[in-house]
């Protein structure tokens, strides 16, 4: 018995795209859906009411961050993630598996989730340890510029906040996520660096599979949590299609409530890895494309049958002064926007961002550019809301297009103008 239910309303004729309804204990999510990221129990710079007003239906927080600060007990005592952050709709939490990557192999290397990975440096093999470093060697890790090292049992890491030592296992991640109490949560996985070779990708994938089983077992041992929370397993396998297929089969066979597709790709590898995985997934489970993405990548995901997406880019680039528009990303700090008095909303093709909760009138590019340049906090806030709104609208439009049987045209039209 799952805490959620998922029904598919309509499938697109010439692609894998599908529109569905995902019902959770805290409400309904119309899929495909974009899930704004609220890592530390807030979508940076945006009030819950504003999220609602621009169409958000669900938010995603992070286990690693909330465990470190303020601690899962506080969130639990507050009544769970949603109550803690004043969000009454559906919630999700990520497992902390991504931090294994971002604080581990990627730490200090300028590698992000989605870069062109030019020259994979030979890596002293810390994260490749086959012998299981049960005890975290801080000096060793630090000397390699990492805050996290992996063994078969779990991951030891130092807090990026104060350097204190911690350890996650699949069981611990589930326990923390039970305390956080989101409607949907993810199994603890190992998100590998795309620079890792095949052998290591296989090793990590198999470890992720073992962790998936342990996560599921831990979840099933808590029947009250099981009634309220759904657990998603995560497909890994790097850029290798055979691994992706194998991983998808394995994860799909275990009995999760939903499936996440994880990983870190180079731009060219995403589609192949995605297709290989999706082809092996059962139709009836909701599929979440972890960490994706940019407009084009989201549409690619939808076309390949993905239902849920989350991404920090909208708020991050917004905070950094860039906005999505129908014609592509605009860097508001650029000189040419200093005296561009065209309205923000019209520029991005929004029909309506004006509501009692949202903006009352469109701001001009010149104004927001000024706010960004002068360091006023309203600038990043406006851009973040704008960008989340843009993505939500893009996905809502895609959903409607699927229902209307016009997804291919919708996607083609968008891509033509945007890229």
Partner RNA sequence: GCGUCGGUGGCGGAGUGGUCAAUCGCACGACACUGUAAAUGUCGCGCCUACGGGCUACGUUGGUUCGAAUCCAACCCGGCGCA
What positions carry a catalytic annotation? 94, 310
- Binding part of the chain for RNA, among 120-128, 132-140, 261-269, 344-352 by CB under 7 A, reads 261-269
What would the x/- binding string for RNA be over residues 220 to 239, using CB under 7 A?
A: --------------x-x---
Task: Provide, rounded to whole angstroms, the least separation between the CB of residue 293 and RNA.
Answer: 2
Cα dihedral value 43, 27, 288, 102, nearest 10? 30
**338 binds RNA, rule: CB under 7 A:** yes
∠ CA 235-281-255, rounded to 5°: 75
For 411-415, the CB contacts below 8 A with 24+ separation are 411/299, 411/302, 411/303, 414/295, 414/299, 414/326, 415/296, 415/299
CA distance 94 to 367: 36
- 153 phi and psi, to 5 degrees? -75, -35
Residue 104 or 362 having the CB closest to RNA:
104
- Counting beta carbons within 10 angstroms of the beta carbon of residue 234, is it exposed (0 to 12), middle (13 to 18) or buried (19 or more)? buried
Task: Provide, rounded to whole angstroms, the least separation between the CB of residue 358 and RNA.
Answer: 19
**315 binds RNA, rule: CB under 7 A:** yes
**90 binds RNA, rule: CB under 7 A:** no
**178 binds RNA, rule: CB under 7 A:** no
Task: Provide, rounded to whole angstroms, the least separation between the CB of residue 57 and RNA.
Answer: 17
Task: Provide, rounded to whole angstroms, the least separation between the CB of residue 341 and RNA.
Answer: 16
- Binding part of the chain for RNA, among 23-31, 49-57, 136-144, 255-263 by CB under 7 A, reads 255-263
CA 68 to chain CA centroid, Å, is 19
* Residue 145, marked binder: no
* Residue 226, marked binder: no
What would the x/- binding string for RNA be over residues 3 to 32, using CB under 7 A?
A: ------------------------------
Q: Which of 54, 60, 368, 391 binds RNA (CB under 7 A)?
A: 60
Residue 39 or 393 having the CB closest to RNA:
39
For strands 287-289 and 308-311, give the pairing. Answer: parallel
* Residue 279, marked binder: no
- Binding part of the chain for RNA, among 113-121, 210-218, 219-227, 357-365 by CB under 7 A, reads 113-121
CA distance 80 to 82: 6
Q: Which residues are annotated as a binding site?
A: 94-98, 189, 236, 263
Give the binding site for RNA (CB under 7 A).
37, 39, 43-44, 60, 62, 64-65, 94-95, 97-99, 101-103, 107-108, 110, 112-115, 145, 147, 160, 186, 189, 191, 234, 236, 260, 262-264, 267, 290-294, 297, 310-313, 315-317, 319-322, 329, 331, 333-336, 338, 373, 375, 377, 380
Q: Which residues are annotated as a binding site for substrate?
A: 94-98, 189, 236, 263
């Amino acid at each position: 018995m799952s805490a959620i239910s998922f029904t598919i309303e309509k499938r697109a004729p010439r692609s894998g795209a599908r529109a569905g309804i995902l019902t959770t204990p805290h409400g309904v999510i119309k899929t495909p859906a974009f899930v704004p990221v609220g890592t530390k129990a807030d979508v940076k710079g945006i009030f819950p009411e504003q999220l609602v007003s621009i169409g958000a239906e669900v938010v995603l927080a992070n286990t690693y961050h909330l465990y470190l600060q303020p601690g899962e007990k506080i969130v639990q005592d507050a009544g769970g993630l949603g109550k803690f952050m004043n969000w009454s709709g559906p919630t999700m939490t990520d497992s902390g598996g991504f931090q294994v990557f971002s604080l581990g192999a990627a730490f200090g290397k300028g590698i992000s989730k989605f870069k062109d990975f030019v020259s994979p440096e030979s890596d002293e093999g810390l994260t490749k340890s086959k012998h299981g470093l049960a005890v975290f060697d801080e000096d060793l890790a630090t000397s390699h510029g990492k805050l996290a090292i992996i063994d078969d049992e779990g991951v030891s890491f130092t807090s990026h906040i104060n350097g204190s030592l911690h350890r996650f296992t699949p069981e611990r991640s589930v326990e923390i996520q039970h305390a956080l109490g989101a409607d949907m949560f993810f199994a603890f996985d190992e998100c590998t660096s795309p620079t890792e070779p095949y052998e290591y990708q296989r090793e990590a994938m198999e470890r992720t599979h073992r962790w998936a089983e342990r996560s599921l077992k831990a979840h099933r041992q808590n029947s009250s949590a099981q009634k309220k929370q759904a657990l998603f397993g995560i497909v890994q396998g790097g850029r290798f299609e055979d691994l992706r297929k194998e991983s998808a089969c394995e994860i799909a066979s275990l009995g999760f409530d939903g499936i996440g597709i994880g990983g870190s790709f180079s731009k060219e590898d995403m589609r192949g890895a995605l297709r290989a995985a999706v082809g092996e997934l059962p139709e009836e489970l909701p599929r979440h494309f972890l960490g994706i993405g940019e407009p084009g990548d989201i549409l690619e995901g939808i076309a390949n049958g993905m239902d849920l997406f989350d991404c920090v880019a909208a708020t991050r680039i917004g905070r950094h002064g860039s906005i999505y528009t129908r014609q592509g990303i605009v860097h508001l700090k650029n000189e040419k926007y200093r005296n561009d008095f065209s309205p923000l909303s019209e520029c991005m093709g929004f029909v309506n961002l004006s509501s009692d909760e949202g903006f009352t009138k469109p701001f001009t590019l010149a104004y927001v550019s000024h706010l960004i340049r002068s360091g006023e906090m309203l600038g990043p806030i406006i851009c973040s809301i704008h960008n989340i709104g843009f993505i939500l609208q893009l996905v809502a439009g895609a959903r409607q297009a699927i229902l209307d049987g016009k997804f291919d045209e919708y996607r083609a039209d968008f891509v033509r103008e945007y890229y």
